[in-house]
């Protein structure tokens, strides 16, 4: 049988992507012959004079140092990455820099198991282990301990979340539930972004560049001292991004964003540390949306800019009573404002959190905490197409958690028990217990297992939204007179979606330069959101005319299902100047709906909105003391329900450091395709999707 043209193209793309990795291999072997040692200036971490001490090159870390990296997201306490009992991946600052990412969502592509799909030039759909959507409602994201989850739509707007990427210390990505410690909506994953201390960002840093897609960008950061033990930094960042195009060549999704901020870290004493930080941002986000009407022309495409702005302030005090006895108190205020083509939202959030960690007995380590959050909003839109029953509403969330880590066999076996108790204004009290078991039979082997319950509490959309949406793909058989629209009605009795998750993991280091990390999972979901068409409700009857059909759709907890799969990650340092990271992710989603009744045919298609297979291969290579060549290859499986084919993405980056202060880089993204779609249109997304373009840009940075 002759291969199809599509198969030949895919094979060709795989060959080209593999050739990029092979080029890295040949270059690395040319630098280091078998049995020889590398350049002594590159042998150890921080050894090179061309690398500032505040930014060590990841390829110069030994495997021991990488495995001993401290993480905090799994247990809310510092612990070594190799011994963390969760499906965890850490994206380091150097990995971000060498990936060529310009904005935060692009940096998240580096994590295995995450589904990162660009909808258009400014918008992303990001989730973990399924249920992907622009406003994915089962992923909790935090920046320096500040939650950016929006309780109006159960998600976040990624186009407004960004930082000077140079200032990120690490991004800890937990694949799997984190509700036991982090609370509601940490169902399928937790992303915890931690920025560097002001002490580690001293001096002046400047960066600028541009290209065909990133038409212009720049960032400036300056750090200094306020006193003997107090440090600060200030920054600003601007980005001008070109538009993407749909298959017909139309586009209106270019965007511009500016932001700035400051941070202060003050070592008040040996026992007390105080941190203050704040950010402001504003910009215009291009949009192209279908506006439905109940009269001719029934639907109209509208283009324009969504205007967004916001600000936040955070203060944190940490006190150390003893090495194993620490407490922290944190508070933050967050303001957000968005004026979209179809709706507007203003939100103000205040949060207070206290945490204490101590060891009452030699074999116990207890962490507990208390928290309170208040979020007030004003939300509205065009009354005929989008509104809320309560245009303004304040939501309160109180929480408490307790976790005990019990050492059963010293350095060998640990059991962690914990639970989170929350009270919200929609469903009242919610409890999220969890247990983790960690077994370390040998210093090169770690086995862990966990069982946990997590919930996704209702949002304003679930509770009191009223919206009209065009409904023509797919058209159910009981609609005889298209075009059609549906009227979505919120449900004040909507309950929390629930998950019981089972996980098993294994980390092994068979060689000094090689590690494997395997995580398997089975998730059991209940009370998932599903729309039910109601043809009998006298308050909102169906309207069927010779030219138009309007149907009411009520949100209910009618769907259930299972997901299962796993992720495998390998780190290999063939030489001291070369690092390879490979990963494979598998996901199977099975959702079920009742056999009687007419239901929204879109929600069950979440089974095919996330790729079943994903493969990544990253190569970080130091060609010499001054030259670096980095490659990233991605395979993402098709999304059948969104009619998005599979694709292969290849990113290349080469940089030159003529001195330790200067760096010049050339980055090419999506090398294999002039354009391709990564996500499709759905009822959950107001904006029409466009296709990701090939991007080439150059940048220059300077340190003083």
pLDDT in tens, 616-634: 999 999 999 999 999 999 9
In DSSP terms, which residues pair with 349 in a beta bridge?
334, 375
In DSSP terms, which residues pair with 644 in a beta bridge?
639
Which residue has 């299972």 as its token pair?
Answer: 562
Q: 25 pLDDT exceeds 50?
A: no
Mean pLDDT of the chain: 86
- Residue 62's pLDDT is 58
- Residue 404's pLDDT is 96
Q: Tokens standing for 328?
A: 């922290």
- Residue 544's pLDDT is 57
Full domain range(s) for residue 198? 5-703
**pLDDT of 302-324, one tens digit each?**
888 999 999 999 999 999 999 88
Contacts of 383 (CB under 8 A, 6+ apart): none
Mean pLDDT along residues 67-81: 86
**pLDDT of 637-669, one tens digit each?**
999 888 899 999 999 999 999 999 999 999 999
For 521, phi and psi rounded to 5 degrees?
A: -145, 155
Distance in angstroms (rounded) separating the CA atoms of residues 152 and 147: 14
- Residue 699's pLDDT is 97
Distance in angstroms (rounded) separating the CA atoms of residues 659 and 663: 8
Classify each residue of 362-387 as buried b or exposed e, where b means 16 or more C-beta atoms within 10 Å of its C-beta: eeebbbbbebebebebebebeeebbb
**pLDDT of 412-463, one tens digit each?**
999 999 999 999 999 999 999 999 999 999 999 999 999 999 999 999 999 9
Distance in angstroms (rounded) separating the CA atoms of residues 697 and 668: 7
Q: 56 pLDDT exceeds 60?
A: no
**pLDDT of 514-559, one tens digit each?**
999 999 999 999 999 998 887 666 555 556 555 566 778 889 999 9
The tally of domains found in the chain comes to 1
Q: 30 pLDDT exceeds 80?
A: no
Q: Give the whole-number percent of the chain exceeding pLDDT 70.
A: 84
**pLDDT of 452-507, one tens digit each?**
999 999 999 999 988 877 665 544 544 445 566 777 888 999 999 999 999 999 99
- Residue 471's pLDDT is 62
- Residue 536's pLDDT is 65
- Residue 70's pLDDT is 86
Helix, coil or strand: residue 30? helix
| Peptide linkage before 110 cis (omega within 30 of 0) | no
Mean pLDDT along residues 20-41: 37
Q: SS3 string of 664-693?
A: EEEEEECCCCCEECCCCCCCCCCECCCEEE
- Residue 88's pLDDT is 95
- Residue 487's pLDDT is 79
Q: 179 pLDDT exceeds 80?
A: yes
Contacts of 446 (CB under 8 A, 6+ apart): 82, 83, 438, 439, 440, 505, 506, 507, 508
- Residue 412's pLDDT is 95
Q: CB-based burial of residue 594 (10 Å sphere; 0-12 exposed, 13-18 middle, 19+ buried)?
A: exposed
- Residue 269's pLDDT is 94
pLDDT-derived band of residue 55, with 50, 70 and 90 as boundaries?
A: very low
Q: 48 pLDDT exceeds 80?
A: no
Distance in angstroms (rounded) separating the CA atoms of residues 473 and 161: 32
Distance in angstroms (rounded) separating the CA atoms of residues 121 and 687: 11
Distance in angstroms (rounded) separating the CA atoms of residues 237 and 162: 9
Q: Give the whole-number percent of the chain exceeding pLDDT 90.
A: 68
Q: Give the least confident one: 186-200, 527-541, 553-567.
A: 527-541
- Residue 242's pLDDT is 95
Distance in angstroms (rounded) separating the CA atoms of residues 236 and 260: 4
CATH code, 500: 2.40.170.20
Name the residue with higher pLDDT: 98 or 42.
Answer: 98
The DSSP-derived string for 57-76 is -GGGS-HHHHHT-EE-TTTS
Identify whether the C-beta of residue 138 lies closer than 8 Å to the C-beta of residue 146. Answer: no
Identify whether the C-beta of residue 502 lies closer than 8 Å to the C-beta of residue 521. Answer: yes
- Residue 597's pLDDT is 77
- Residue 417's pLDDT is 97
- Residue 481's pLDDT is 53
Q: Tokens standing for 74?
A: 């799994």
Name the residue with higher pLDDT: 148 or 608.
Answer: 148
Which residue has 């390998």 as its token pair?
Answer: 570
- Residue 21's pLDDT is 41
- Residue 470's pLDDT is 65
How many angstroms separate the most distant Cα atoms in the chain? 82
Identify whether the C-beta of residue 203 lies closer than 8 Å to the C-beta of residue 419. Answer: no
How does strand 139-143 pair with strand 189-195?
Answer: parallel
Distance in angstroms (rounded) separating the CA atoms of residues 682 and 603: 9
- In this prediction the pTM is 0.89
- Residue 636's pLDDT is 97
Mean pLDDT along residues 262-278: 96
């Amino acid at each position: 049988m002759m291969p199809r043209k599509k198969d030949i193209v895919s094979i060709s793309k795989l060959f080209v992507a593999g050739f990029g990795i092979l080029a890295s291999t040949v270059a690395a072997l040319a630098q280091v012959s078998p049995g020889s040692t590398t350049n002594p200036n590159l042998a150890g971490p921080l050894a090179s004079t061309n690398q500032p001490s505040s930014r060590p090159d990841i390829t110069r870390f030994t495997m021991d140092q990488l495995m001993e990296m401290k993480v905090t997201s799994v247990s809310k306490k510092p612990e070594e990455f190799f011994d963390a009992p969760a499906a965890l991946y850490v994206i380091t600052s150097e990995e971000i820099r060498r990936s060529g990412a310009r904005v935060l969502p692009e940096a998240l592509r580096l994590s295995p198991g995450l589904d990162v799909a660009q909808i258009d030039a400014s918008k992303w759909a990001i989730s973990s282990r399924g249920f992907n959507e622009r406003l994915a409602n089962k992923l909790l994201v935090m920046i320096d301990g500040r939650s950016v989850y929006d309780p109006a739509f159960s998600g976040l707007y990624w186009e407004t979340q960004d930082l000077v990427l140079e200032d990120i210390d690490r991004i800890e990505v937990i694949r799997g539930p984190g509700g036991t410690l982090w609370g509601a909506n940490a169902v399928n994953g937790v992303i915890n972004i931690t920025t560097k201390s002001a002490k580690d960002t001293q001096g002046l840093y400047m960066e600028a560049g541009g290209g065909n897609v990133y038409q212009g960008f720049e960032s400036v950061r300056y750090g200094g001292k306020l006193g003997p033990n107090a440090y600060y930094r200030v920054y600003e960042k601007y980005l001008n991004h070109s538009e993407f195009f749909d298959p017909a060549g139309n586009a209106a999704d270019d965007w511009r964003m500016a932001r700035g901020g400051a941070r202060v870290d003050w070592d008040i004493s040996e026992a007390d540390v105080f941190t203050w930080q704040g950010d402001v941002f504003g910009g215009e986000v291009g949009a192209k949306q279908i506006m439905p009407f109940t009269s001719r022309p029934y639907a109209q495409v509208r283009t324009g800019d969504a205007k967004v702005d916001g600000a936040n302030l955070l203060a944190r005090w940490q006190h150390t009573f003893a090495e194993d006895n620490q407490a922290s108190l944190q508070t933050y205020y967050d303001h957000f404002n968005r004026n979209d083509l179809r709706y507007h939202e203003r939100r103000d959030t205040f949060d207070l959190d206290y945490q204490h960690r101590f060891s009452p007995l030699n074999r116990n380590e207890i962490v507990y905490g208390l928290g309170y959050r208040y979020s007030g909003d004003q939300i509205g839109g065009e009354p005929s197409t989008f509104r809320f029953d309560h245009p303004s509403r304040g939501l309160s969330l109180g929480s408490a958690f307790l976790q005990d880590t019990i050492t059963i066999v010293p350095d060998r076996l640990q059991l962690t028990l914990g639970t989170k108790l929350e009270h919200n204004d929609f469903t009242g009290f919610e409890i999220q217990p969890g247990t983790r078991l960690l077994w370390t039979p040998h210093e090169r082997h770690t086995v862990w297992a966990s069982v946990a319950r997590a919930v996704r509490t209702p949002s304003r959309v679930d509770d009191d939204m009223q919206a009209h949406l065009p409904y023509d793909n797919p058209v159910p058989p009981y609609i005889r007179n298209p075009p059609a629209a549906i009227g979505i009605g919120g449900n004040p009795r909507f309950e929390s979606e629930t998950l019981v998750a089972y996980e098993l993991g294994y980390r092994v280091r068979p060689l000094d330069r090689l590690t494997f990390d395997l995580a398997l999972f089975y998730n059991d979901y209940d009370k998932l959101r599903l729309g039910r068409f109601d043809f009998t409700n006298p308050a909102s009857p169906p309207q069927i005319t010779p030219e138009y059909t309007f149907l009411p759709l009520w949100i209910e907890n009618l769907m259930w299902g299972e997901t299962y799969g796993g992720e495998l990650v390998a780190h290999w340092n063939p030489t001291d100047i070369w690092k390879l990271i490979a990963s494979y992710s598998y996901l199977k989603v099975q959702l079920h709906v009742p056999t009687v009744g007419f239901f929204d045919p879109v929600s069950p298609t979440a089974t095919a909105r996330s790729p079943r297979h994903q493969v990544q291969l990253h190569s970080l290579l130091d060609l010499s003391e001054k030259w670096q060549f980095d490659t990233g290859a991605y395979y993402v499986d098709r999304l059948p329900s969104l009619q998005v084919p599979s694709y292969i993405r290849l990113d290349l980056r080469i940089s030159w450091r003529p001195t330790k202060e200067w760096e010049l880089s050339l980055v090419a993204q999506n090398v294999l395709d002039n354009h391709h779609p990564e996500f499709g249109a759905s009822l959950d997304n107001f904006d029409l999707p466009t296709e990701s373009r090939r991007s080439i840009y150059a940048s220059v940075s300077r340190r003083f």
